[in-house]
Amino acid sequence: MKIVPDTSIIIDQMLTKLIEDCFENAEVLIPEAVQSEIENHANRRKDIGYSGIDELKRLRTLADEGVIDLKYVGRRPQLDEVSLARGGEIDAMIRDIARKHNATLVTSDRLQSQIAEAQGIDTYFYQKQAPQIVKTELEKYFADDISSIHLRENTVPMAKRGKPGQIELIELDYVPLRYNDLDRITNELLAQTQLRQDAFIEIEKNGVKVIQFGNLRVTVAKRPFADGFEITAIKPVNRLDLIDYDVSEKLLKRLSDEAKGILVAGSPGAGKSTFAQALAEYYHYDLEKIVKTMENPRDLNLDDNITQYAPLEGSMEDTADILLLVRPDFTLFDEVRKTRDFEIYSDMRLAGVGMIGIVHATRAIDAIQRFLGRLELGVIPSVIDTTIYIEDGEIRSVYSIELTVKVPTGMIEADLARPVIEIKDLETEELLYEIYTYGEQTIVMNVNKPKDSNKEDKSSVDKIVTRVIRNEIYRIVPNVAVEISLLSNNRALVEIDPEYAGTIIGKNGKTIEKIEERAGISIEVQDLEVKEIEDKKIIPVSISGNYISLNFRKEDIGASYDIIVEGEYLFTATVGKKANIRLKRNIEMGEIIIKAMKKDEPVYARLRNEDFY
């Protein structure tokens, strides 16, 4: 008899078994469309593609042994037809071949079999036997206090054990795992996803799969994505209520009455997701709010009453559109990372939805700063009003965010008043940071930073004013040698290479007036004198783009100088034709110079005596 297998029966690797039981000595006609579809899966590094290729090899072996007569028939589909496989184009081509050759179509796809039977095609439908739901090999690794499992080929299985702040990495066995071991574990997971309602493939891309398996989030990585085969499985150890945290009455009142744009921040493994889960359930049960989530992948351990949404057709933006129609009271967004995520969070908050965003940050202020440049400054307090920083599973700090109009701390001129975002400690109401624009810069000012009693401390405002003046000068004359000092709160001294002093002042003082206007301070211009200290002299330093420039005088061109920073020899170089020494800022020497500049430490140059050396 003649049989025509479709793609499903090949990738299920069942045709060779059926030949032994039902179709011995059959003429097997494999459509070119089947081979093309299998090849397409393999090119996309999908396991079903490789499974299909293995089955085709076994069929060739049976043909060589004389068990079957094997032929490839039909035409190879066009690229657009392969891309339309999900729409049924390839299946239709396979049915046409079965009809043309008066053959039996063999399939494990129920829909394919039903359509073929409706078209009068003789059909053999193989009903796949469903494997039993069992506790998988991966799940057996998990004990009550284990939060994650780390399996990698040619290494012993590892696990993280303990709670946030008390995590230790342990070995689970002394025998290294092999590729086949990880392949077996992966195939068992994939088989179980076909049976379990709480298991599904969340993400599948070239070299990686993310599987939500009950309360486990499993990431399977292979080449070319990873340099080896590895499986990482993460399980939430704790499920806490808000009452389990040291939540003050003041914070509880804010969460209940005022907070609508909340950021839960912390470093990886700090326990921020566990806290966010507790907060979401507090809003649902205690405050009787409708709560939804946006997750990619969905791995939060939440009550069944809280619906968890994934990216709709791969787009979190489309998920947000649906949520705006659903209109929950609060949406938990896990996690806010990319620019588009911050925009989606903001759009939903400005549309009136309460938002809880989980953000990776090593400091509470860093979570707020991640919105800078992504939103207009004045909009930020309308989007986020409360930041809760979690460390070692505990609430370490809570910030409130408000917008006001005032003169920033450290400035005294009344005409410097501007919109300022004030960030305060919620409990003490102490002002910690101010965010505002100065010139064209966005300034994040730590107004509570303690001074170093061992050195003369230059205020942060002074540093900002100095930086603005320097940047304005470099716009006009890049890499010029310049020294800037503040004489008072409203007056600065600029010492500049005499060759460029006129350029900075401008005709009738117009240029320096513009610089004064942008810096908000009056400026006096003087010629720069190179200061000699013993056998060394201070060298003006400027930064432009990716380069640092040490600026000498024209008479120094061609001379070799030792460069000294904080009393330590750094390197020796020859002054170039433009009377400077340039180096990249991202190399070690450049980074040392930049650190010295930030501490207001001078850079010295000492003429190299070749005879001495």
For residue range 326-384, what is the model confidence (pLDDT) as tens digits?
A: 889 999 998 898 889 999 999 999 999 999 999 998 888 999 998 988 888 889 999 99
- Averaged pLDDT for residues 237-259: 87
Which residue would you say has higher pLDDT here, 535 or 51? 51
Share of the chain above pLDDT 70, in %: 91
Query: Which pLDDT score is estimated for 90?
Result: 84
For residue range 456-486, what is the model confidence (pLDDT) as tens digits?
A: 445 566 777 787 888 888 788 876 777 888 7
Domains of the chain, with CATH numbers? 2-125 (3.40.50.1010), 139-234 (3.30.450), 242-446 (3.40.50.300), 460-527 (3.30.300.20), 532-607 (no CATH)
Enclosing H/E stretch for 434: strand 431-438
For residue range 206-227, what is the model confidence (pLDDT) as tens digits?
A: 889 988 888 888 999 998 888 8
Q: How many CB atoms lie within 10 A of CB 602?
A: 18
Cβ–Cβ < 8 Å for 69, 63: yes
The CA distance from 389 to 276, in Å, is: 11
Query: Which pLDDT score is estimated for 509?
Result: 85
Q: Model confidence at 613, in pLDDT bands (50, 70, 90)?
A: very low
Query: Which pLDDT score is estimated for 530?
Result: 60
If we measure between CA atoms, which residue out of 136, 143, 131, 235 comes closest to residue 182? 136
Quote the mean pLDDT of the chain: 85
Dihedral, CA of residue 516, residue 520, residue 526 and residue 531, to nearest 10: -140
Q: Model confidence at 149, in pLDDT bands (50, 70, 90)?
A: very high
CA distances from residue 14 to 11, 19, 22, 410, 593 in whole angstroms, order as listed:
8, 9, 12, 78, 68
- Averaged pLDDT for residues 540-568: 86
Which residue would you say has higher pLDDT here, 129 or 107? 107
